[in-house]
Amino acid sequence: MLRHIQLNSSGKLNHLLSTEGLPKPLILSILKRSNDFLTFDNQILIKRSKSLSGKSVFNIFFENSTRTSTTFEIAAKRLSADVINFNVDTSSTSKGESLLDTVDNFVAMQADMFVVRHYSSGASVLIAQHINKVAPHIHVMNAGDGSHAHPTQALLDMFTIQHFKGDFSNLRVAIIGDVVHSRVARSNIHALSTLGCPDIRVIGPSTLLPSNLSDLGVHGFNDMDHGLSEVDVVIVLRLQNERMTSTTLPSEHEYFQCYGLTEKRLLNAKSDVIVLHPGPMNRGVEIDSKVCDGPHSVILTQVTFGIAVRMAVMDILSNG
Amino acid sequence: MLRHIQLNSSGKLNHLLSTEGLPKPLILSILKRSNDFLTFDNQILIKRSKSLSGKSVFNIFFENSTRTSTTFEIAAKRLSADVINFNVDTSSTSKGESLLDTVDNFVAMQADMFVVRHYSSGASVLIAQHINKVAPHIHVMNAGDGSHAHPTQALLDMFTIQHFKGDFSNLRVAIIGDVVHSRVARSNIHALSTLGCPDIRVIGPSTLLPSNLSDLGVHGFNDMDHGLSEVDVVIVLRLQNERMTSTTLPSEHEYFQCYGLTEKRLLNAKSDVIVLHPGPMNRGVEIDSKVCDGPHSVILTQVTFGIAVRMAVMDILSNG
Amino acid sequence: MLRHIQLNSSGKLNHLLSTEGLPKPLILSILKRSNDFLTFDNQILIKRSKSLSGKSVFNIFFENSTRTSTTFEIAAKRLSADVINFNVDTSSTSKGESLLDTVDNFVAMQADMFVVRHYSSGASVLIAQHINKVAPHIHVMNAGDGSHAHPTQALLDMFTIQHFKGDFSNLRVAIIGDVVHSRVARSNIHALSTLGCPDIRVIGPSTLLPSNLSDLGVHGFNDMDHGLSEVDVVIVLRLQNERMTSTTLPSEHEYFQCYGLTEKRLLNAKSDVIVLHPGPMNRGVEIDSKVCDGPHSVILTQVTFGIAVRMAVMDILSNG
């Protein structure tokens, strides 16, 4: 179903809601287009383009995330779009208006593209289904919905992995942390599978790993050293502070003892392993400072690539 | 007095503070100009213009309303103005600065136009009087002040009515709800009167209707079926949630029983009646979902027209 | 050390963190450049320029100040820069991310210039030291850090004084209020000293004056009439409301009795004295309304000059 909503009748990308259901050639074309927005010289530089000139991009955030909102704003502005930032938590929903009424109002203001973050899983799908009925010319990008999906994060992770590793067909990738609640993990697993990654692993306490691992084609590990063995890529998930207060997790200190990524533990991986993190990082909780700042970390490169990947998605949605 | 402040010595619009005191030709010229910013094809489209290029529009909101602020921001950007958004509730007034000192600071930053929303009735008049002394080149637009006036809302309602009904001279218009506290109702009544609407009605419980109905040239109704009889236009007011807690109103459920606009009640009106609402809507409180989404509703068209009308007012203020 | 961090190896301005350590020719060149962005006709007008076209200025505010943020936003936009506003108090730091990780993320988003306000003294120096290591092409402007420095405020005060008084070499300048906690006072004292002002005075209760007055080359006064005697310039500091609750200060009323600037007290100064205030003002606390609005006040002119001075600093940082 997610494939059907995301692609139009010619199989072109119409909304980006999830990496689930995206065909491999389409993912590869997004990664290729992202490269067009980067210059690799001594430094990686993001280009500017006129490709969304005269278009209006609405950043509609039902969940506060200034940083994610900022990366979409930068991407849209570098494509010459007009950007309207709208934080709904301080606005109409507090006045009792329904989600789709809020959306209808933005449609009537003649947006060309919506970037939506919402605290509820499935909100972006609901919005896209509605948009297809009332305003099929508008494109919807999911910037994170509940624990469902965060497709641009996954695509920038794929771009980063491709950049450093070239090909997915021989890779061993480990995702560490609260996998079961993570939209980043879920979107990464779908993208890695589609791109042909043969060995995807998730590492964490059993309470934080999904129960349907085999359906996902993923191997589960409770032990870090074992799970990290000979991996090419490590994706460290952020430990959500709000979950620390619940009973499913020990203290931050205990978590770090068991699942914090340290230099020593990283020795289990291949010598040219790369370490990714979606940010913001909790140093000393899910990752040790020496790893963040060490030679294997590509965490800040991800941020730069994230702008280019979001530009690529907006460009493809708008111009094909 | 409101006429004197809003018009310059040549009778041209200098500030837009209220529909009260606006001459009929001036209102009609705003409606005509609004049409210049729209294209009516299969779809209603808002045009772009360079008419405010190089001008700075300051959105100064002393009362939180992201949505209203956004419509002015879009209007100003589509006219190529620079837009500065300033939410004063989180800023200087909390630091003890007076309203006019805050205004003087924006004057010194060389704004060309102020869009002001304020929780106090009369704030925009106070500001315009001050501006006329210290910076007569600056134009003030009232985006809602207390329970006094919301002129751009009324003008977009007039534009909507004119678009669907053509002429005001034979119309019967009903406004339903908390009329006594509503700046939207007040501004609409003045505009309708000036445009020659012969039959203006307000419908609601006596506690929510103004006591000076005859001064306003308005007929009051406590009974919906009676009030809606043979009307051409219905304007449903938003029921302010904060008033629900007071003793002047029954529960939301009881309110809906008495004054909620349903399909059945709408049968009292003319068969081609149009239904307006300033938004955001409380479905199931002041209006039934079937009416919101039904064939008589022009509520989302109002939103699109609202951008064009605000563009027209800014264009006229700036360029005559 | 502050000189070393702010200037590059050729002695050109690389960051603006403090007026301390800025050579006199450099300060004078900033004042001269500011003049280029102003037209003095009947009215003082700020010009527009393309000098930062294609550059991204990030306004990063760890301390809420919509007004200061707005003046930098206006300055950057009038130079044709892209502006990204980022309020960190509602964002990543509340998620446990470290200051330098937040900065690194903005670096990775390819900012060209940072405008930073932070509640901690020294934050901007820490950031600039870090930037010099990781991204030496980025320029840092301090928009106020704790009680340390607020250099653009001091530079706009110097520009204002120079505009009205011409030369610093014969001036007597008094700064009134909570000098010990004021980054504005500190930055002004350094700038005035460097520009050769021979008589700098601070006036206030002993609890609010620095203990190292002679090191600063400043004369302290507890008595207003005595301190204001024959001064050319008075800089009134804002009394921070939050300090009023502490025990170091009497009531607002008592403060006004002792240290409020009134017309009568101003008679002690020279007849052509000018009065400055960084805003927002507490009328009736540190300054009487008649002085704010009187012939000696240049408080609103400061605001206009502030835009030009910030444009000048950005222009010099970016283009030399």
Residue C203 belongs to domain with CATH number: 3.40.50.1370
Interchain CB contact of C59 with A (< 8 Å): no
- Residues C54 and C131 grouped into a single domain: yes
**CA–CA distance from A233 to each of A176, A292, C78 (Å)?**
11, 14, 45
Mutate to test the interface with A, among C85, C98, C109 (most CBs of A within 10 A): C109
* In contact, C255 and C286? CB cutoff 8 Å: yes
Residue A191 is encoded by which pair of tokens?
Answer: 């993208």
Q: What is the pLDDT of residue A64?
A: 80
The 3-state DSSP class for residue C208 equals: helix
Q: At A32, is the pLDDT very low, low, confident or very high (cuts 50, 70, 90)?
A: very high
Interchain CB contact of C129 with A (< 8 Å): no
Q: What is the pLDDT of residue C225?
A: 97
Average pLDDT over residues A277-287: 94
The 3-state DSSP class for residue A251 equals: coil
Interchain CB contact of C39 with B (< 8 Å): no
The one catalytic residue among A4, A50, A67, A133 = A67
- Residues C41 and C116 grouped into a single domain: yes
Q: What is the pLDDT of residue C193?
A: 97
Full domain range(s) for residue A286? 151-298
Selecting from B54, B91, B96 the residue whose C-beta is nearest the C-beta of C67 gives: B91
Taking phi over 0 as left and psi of -120 to 50 as alpha, with beta for the rest, A110 belongs to: left
Residue B16 is encoded by which pair of tokens?
Answer: 């837009």
Average pLDDT over residues A62-69: 87
* In contact, B128 and B17? CB cutoff 8 Å: yes
* In contact, C261 and C234? CB cutoff 8 Å: yes
Collect all residues with Cβ–Cβ distance below 8 Å to B78 and sequence separation of at least 6: B37, B46, B47, B48, B49, B307, B311
- Residues C222 and C288 grouped into a single domain: yes
For residue A96, give how far its alpha carbon lies from the nearest alpha carbon of chain B (Å): 6
- In chain C, which residue's Cα lies nearest the Cα of A285? C96
More confident site: C91 or C183: C183
Q: What amino acid positions of C are annotated as catalytic residues?
A: 67-68, 95, 117, 150
- Residues B258 and B221 grouped into a single domain: yes
- Residues A121 and A47 grouped into a single domain: yes
- Residues A48 and A101 grouped into a single domain: yes
- Residues C225 and C266 grouped into a single domain: yes
Average pLDDT over residues C13-20: 97
Interchain CB contact of A75 with C (< 8 Å): no
pLDDT digits (tens, 9 = 90+) for A111-122: 999 999 999 999
Across the interface, do C56 and A74 touch by the CB < 8 Å criterion? Answer: yes
Interchain CB contact of B133 with C (< 8 Å): no
The one catalytic residue among A50, A95, A245, A247 = A95
Name every chain A residue with its beta carbon within 8 A of the beta carbon of C84.
70, 73-74
- Residues B9 and B145 grouped into a single domain: yes
* In contact, A78 and C102? CB cutoff 8 Å: no
pLDDT digits (tens, 9 = 90+) for C122-176: 999 999 999 999 999 999 999 999 999 999 999 999 999 999 999 999 999 999 9
- Residues B267 and B177 grouped into a single domain: yes
Q: What is the pLDDT of residue B205?
A: 93
Q: What is the pLDDT of residue C77?
A: 96
Q: Sign (positive/negative) of CA torsion B169, B175, B180, B183?
A: negative
The 3-state DSSP class for residue C216 equals: helix
- Residues A155 and A205 grouped into a single domain: yes
Across the interface, do C65 and B109 touch by the CB < 8 Å criterion? Answer: no
Number of structural domains chain A divides into:
2
* In contact, C17 and C125? CB cutoff 8 Å: yes
In whole angstroms, give the CA distance from residue B131 to residue B220: 38
Q: What is the pLDDT of residue C92?
A: 46
Interchain CB contact of C199 with A (< 8 Å): no
- Residues A264 and A145 grouped into a single domain: no
- Residues C236 and C311 grouped into a single domain: no
CA atoms within 13 A on the CB side of A63: 16
Across the interface, do A48 and C54 touch by the CB < 8 Å criterion? Answer: yes
- pLDDT reading at C242 higher than 80: no
- pLDDT reading at C247 higher than 60: no
- pLDDT reading at C227 higher than 80: yes
Q: What is the pLDDT of residue A2?
A: 75
In whole angstroms, give the CA distance from residue B287 to residue B9: 44
Selecting from A54, A107, A109 the residue whose C-beta is nearest the C-beta of B74 gives: A109
Q: Name residue C207's amino acid.
A: T
The order of strands in the sheet holding C82-87 is: C82-87, C56-61, C113-118, C139-145
Across the interface, do C66 and B92 touch by the CB < 8 Å criterion? Answer: yes
Interchain CB contact of C95 with A (< 8 Å): yes
Mutate to test the interface with C, among A80, A281, A293 (most CBs of C within 10 A): A281
Q: What is the pLDDT of residue B251?
A: 82
Collect all residues with Cβ–Cβ distance below 8 Å to C296 and sequence separation of at least 6: C266, C273, C274, C275
- pLDDT reading at A246 higher than 80: no
| Length, in residues, of chain C | 320
Residue spans of chain B under pLDDT 50: 91-93
Q: Residue C17 burial (CB < 10 Å; 0-12/13-18/19+)?
A: buried
Question: Is the reported ipTM for this assembly greater than 0.90?
Answer: yes
